[in-house]
Chain A
């Protein structure tokens, strides 16, 4: 019994040490890892990146792909709390898609707005959007910018 608990503890520690960033439903063992970038002001790009995310999930299945959308610059508007796409974002998040919001952009937009923008609850803040993309690429993610 003691041995079983020891093995359990080891496995638990191993799981916790795999990285601070939580994995998608597919985790680090995903068959495919993709990061989508949105940094454009064009509202059409918001639809496009969500459509692309949908198509990726549809092709691989949420259990077989690790998918993250990183928003920075004017593209951060996609992750505003009031954004008209928030229903689609929730739907994608429920299927394991991660959404990252650049803190640098948040800070800059906050200066222009006079207050930090309210973000979608499914968005996680990262220090810098481009750094996040670089880190994900180091982990084997493929970058796609629709």
Chain B
């Protein structure tokens, strides 16, 4: 009797997972996880957050050539201050609250998150604490939920996923340079003399976020969960208003095949109880067994007020896939960028540093008509329930429109994650980094400079609460 009942329960559970009863389960649907709360089963206000202290180090190889030869190379310095080649840092420390506000009405959800860490969000734009997310989601219209406020834009998996479940310490070159947007008043094309105001970011990095309004939802066909998002935003970063009349458009689609059973990967994500059910909802939690295909598109204009003032198109789009099955996970994505390409600093120097001749200072640069593409492949394997090994190869081809300006960055990252428990882990990454100017002779100054790109060691502790 007991065995029969057990089999019945298992069958019922499997049927539930496979949608046999009209219910679906288990998907890494970031739109759902970050913007909505399980209906009838969420708190008025649930406090949560995470802390990520880290250590990063390179050999600190100095610039090998160019006007700043012998000085610190910006690409070998530790983020975000770029003053030293090795440093401990509290890269992220976030605390937030989410819920329904009025528990009897599940149709109105909110999400609030603030950043106290030391990173590109808090280092720019004044103040030491920044709001990263503040949004309200209205779930009144079947097939079209509405989210308003400041939140992650629907796009690349690296940007859209919750950072506290990210399997690596540093972003890929493509995400870091093409998608994690820095905002400038100029393009850095005018040479600056010592004492001049250099072209620096005029506010926080975008943190893959915008302020706007998003329509989104998800639905099921068999074992597939499909989700879409359409968003219109300012296109001017976080914690401030817009600086022009242009709006940013975001379009996103994902289709995710859900496999039965829960992934053995420990979850570093906050797992809110309980498991969702019903035709419009699935479970929380980031680490379930799925295969996802997705595509995204972003388009807008940026306005420069100094150094080639004007409006410039900025387009990004990409396709990708993720797989999480048993002890194995994989991901890949291809990204295309057109316009407003972040192009590093003059001579590879730390911004604001005077050259050896003391005749110029290093600027940040933006190539307004630049083009670029990037891709990565990423694999992970759960060796034991507490230990995961990861390997990722990523490459960025920047400014492909000009042989002289083109730069190629490639990084092979090998990593390990040790899970103390579901909500805390230690990450270790070793990045083998390479860069070149493929359109120039090997002896050209840019190639000499890029040859000094060091490998990087990183260690990070993460706890989610």
Interface residues of A (CB under 8 A from B): 41-44, 46-48, 50, 54, 57-58, 61-63, 74, 77-78, 80, 82-88, 90-91, 94-95, 109, 112-113, 117
Say yes or no: A80 contacts B39, CB within 8 Å.
Answer: yes
Q: Which single residue of chain A is at the shortest CB-CB distance from B283? A: A84
Residues of B close to A87: CB separation below 8 A: 16, 21, 23, 277-278
CB distance from B454 to the nearest CB of A (A): 47
Work out how many contacts link A and B, with CB atoms closer than 8 A: 88
Residues of B close to A74: CB separation below 8 A: 103
- Could you say which of B13, B105, B278 has the most chain A C-beta atoms within 10 Å of its C-beta? B278
- Which of B16, B273, B274, B276 is close to A91, meaning CB atoms less than 8 Å apart? B16
Measured as residues with beta carbon below 8 angstroms from the partner, the interface class of chain B is 20 to 34
Residues of A close to B104: CB separation below 8 A: 77, 109, 112-113, 117
Q: List 24 A-B contacts (CB under 8 A).
A: A43-B41, A43-B272, A44-B273, A46-B273, A48-B273, A54-B9, A58-B2, A61-B5, A82-B40, A83-B39, A83-B40, A84-B275, A84-B276, A84-B278, A85-B275, A85-B277, A87-B277, A87-B278, A88-B275, A91-B13, A91-B21, A113-B104, A113-B105, A117-B104
- Which of A41, A84, A90 is close to B21, meaning CB atoms less than 8 Å apart? A90
Cα–Cα distance between A3 and B352 once the two chains are bound (Å):
107
B327 is an interface residue with CB less than 8 A from chain A: no
Cα–Cα distance between A78 and B277 once the two chains are bound (Å):
12
Say yes or no: A43 contacts B38, CB within 8 Å.
Answer: yes
B144 is an interface residue with CB less than 8 A from chain A: no
Cα–Cα distance between A62 and B1 once the two chains are bound (Å):
10
- Which of B1, B5, B44, B274 is close to A84, meaning CB atoms less than 8 Å apart? B274
Cα–Cα distance between A83 and B151 once the two chains are bound (Å):
26
- Which of B39, B103, B272, B277 is close to A88, meaning CB atoms less than 8 Å apart? B277
Cα–Cα distance between A109 and B40 once the two chains are bound (Å):
13
Give 1 or 0 for each of B140-168: 1 = CB within 8 Å of chain A CB. Answer: 00000000000000000000000000000
Residues of A close to B21: CB separation below 8 A: 87, 90-91
Cα–Cα distance between A124 and B42 once the two chains are bound (Å):
23
- Which of A50, A58, A82, A117 is close to B6, meaning CB atoms less than 8 Å apart? A58
Cα–Cα distance between A113 and B107 once the two chains are bound (Å):
12
- Top 6 closest A-B pairs, CB basis? A87-B277, A83-B40, A47-B274, A84-B38, A47-B273, A80-B40
Q: Which single residue of chain A is at the shortest CB-CB distance from B99? A: A43
B191 is an interface residue with CB less than 8 A from chain A: no
Q: Tell me the chain B residues, 81-105 only, with Cβ under 8 Å from chain A.
A: 103-105
B330 is an interface residue with CB less than 8 A from chain A: no
Interface residues of B (CB under 8 A from A): 1-2, 5-6, 8-9, 12-13, 16, 21, 23, 38-44, 103-106, 272-278, 281
CB distance from B433 to the nearest CB of A (A): 45
CB distance from A37 to the nearest CB of B (A): 17
Residues of A close to B9: CB separation below 8 A: 54, 57-58
CB distance from A120 to the nearest CB of B (A): 9
Residues of B close to A86: CB separation below 8 A: 277-278
Cα–Cα distance between A127 and B105 once the two chains are bound (Å):
23
Residues of A close to B12: CB separation below 8 A: 91, 94
Cα–Cα distance between A83 and B39 once the two chains are bound (Å):
5
Cα–Cα distance between A112 and B105 once the two chains are bound (Å):
10
CB distance from B200 to the nearest CB of A (A): 45
- Which of A43, A47, A78, A83 is close to B43, meaning CB atoms less than 8 Å apart? A43
Cα–Cα distance between A47 and B39 once the two chains are bound (Å):
13
Say yes or no: B1 contacts A63, CB within 8 Å.
Answer: yes
Given A87-B23, A117-B104, A78:B40 Cβ within 8 A: yes
Q: Which single residue of chain A is at the shortest CB-CB distance from B102? A: A112
CB distance from A47 to the nearest CB of B (A): 4
Cα–Cα distance between A58 and B412 once the two chains are bound (Å):
49
Residues of B close to A95: CB separation below 8 A: 8
Cα–Cα distance between A53 and B434 once the two chains are bound (Å):
58
Cα–Cα distance between A89 and B108 once the two chains are bound (Å):
24
Residues of B close to A113: CB separation below 8 A: 104-105
Cα–Cα distance between A48 and B41 once the two chains are bound (Å):
12
Residues of A close to B8: CB separation below 8 A: 95
Residues of A close to B5: CB separation below 8 A: 57-58, 61-62
Residues of B close to A88: CB separation below 8 A: 274-275, 277
Cα–Cα distance between A48 and B16 once the two chains are bound (Å):
19
CB distance from B276 to the nearest CB of A (A): 4
CB distance from B465 to the nearest CB of A (A): 15
Residues of B close to A112: CB separation below 8 A: 104
CB distance from B325 to the nearest CB of A (A): 23
CB distance from A79 to the nearest CB of B (A): 9
Say yes or no: A85 contacts B274, CB within 8 Å.
Answer: yes
Say yes or no: B39 contacts A84, CB within 8 Å.
Answer: yes
CB distance from A81 to the nearest CB of B (A): 8
- Which of B1, B16, B273, B277 is close to A43, meaning CB atoms less than 8 Å apart? B273
